[in-house]
Amino acid sequence: MPGKFIVFEGLDGSGKGTQISRLAAELSARGEKVHLTCEPTQYATGGLIRDALAGIAKRTPSEMAGLFLADRIAHCENPADGIKSLLERGYTVICDRYYYSSLAYQGMDLGLEWLIKANLECPAILKPDLCIFLDVPTDTADDRISKGRASREIFEEKETIERVRKQYFKVFEKLSGHNIRVINAARSPEEVFEDILKIVI
């Protein structure tokens, strides 16, 4: 593929949004064509997922895994603004969360084996060139969520955050063929960004 596919992962409150904006600005300034995207998407499946995350619609863990999978397939394949089409046109695609989130969040309840198969062996789903994991201790994530939000989503309770962080590391150990870089994100945004740039450029 002519373009590069970069994924950011991390707990809620790990600072993904800030770092993604900075990286996009920096790469654009260097003349790259950059496209920012996220999961859940803005497509119909993403809407169903957001209702479930907000607790408006109740969904079982398996349903959530299936919805995220369908959303990801649409995200890759959409002919207009899908990831595959953008990479083919030479864009650097930066995605806020991808299948590593499904393995971490849905994997806690469902077990990893079938989730890994469903996501990583699906021919429609692209493998990222790079995954940057912004690592913060659970307390930092919890504090940042408290400061930034009026209400919490279903995965944002403190005990869940701790379990998710552990699950991310379990997932990374299993995915040996993936380019995953863990960055200590419990520092100033400037220090974190410096490390990100060293990896990306």
Counts of helices then strands in the chain (DSSP H, E) = 10, 5
d(C-alpha 72, C-alpha 137), whole Å: 28
For residue 81, state whether it binds ligand TYD (rule: CB under 6 A). Answer: no
- What are the E-state strand segments in the chain? 5-10, 34-38, 92-96, 130-135, 180-184
For residue 193, state whether it binds ligand TYD (rule: CB under 6 A). Answer: no
By rule CB under 6 A, what count of residues binds ligand TYD? 14
| One residue of 101, 135, 192, 193 binding ligand TYD per CB under 6 A | 101
For residue 4, state whether it binds ligand TYD (rule: CB under 6 A). Answer: no
| One residue of 23, 45, 68, 82 binding ligand TYD per CB under 6 A | 68
d(C-alpha 59, C-alpha 32), whole Å: 40
| One residue of 81, 129, 153, 195 binding ligand TYD per CB under 6 A | 153
For residue 12, state whether it binds ligand TYD (rule: CB under 6 A). Answer: yes
Tokens of residue 113, six digits: 């084996």
For residue 135, state whether it binds ligand TYD (rule: CB under 6 A). Answer: no
Tokens of residue 17, six digits: 């949004």
| One residue of 5, 105, 133, 168 binding ligand TYD per CB under 6 A | 105
Give the side-chain half-sphere CA count within 13 A for 39.
Answer: 27
Interacting residues toward ligand TYD by CB under 6 A = 12, 16, 39-40, 53, 68, 96-97, 101-102, 105-106, 153, 155
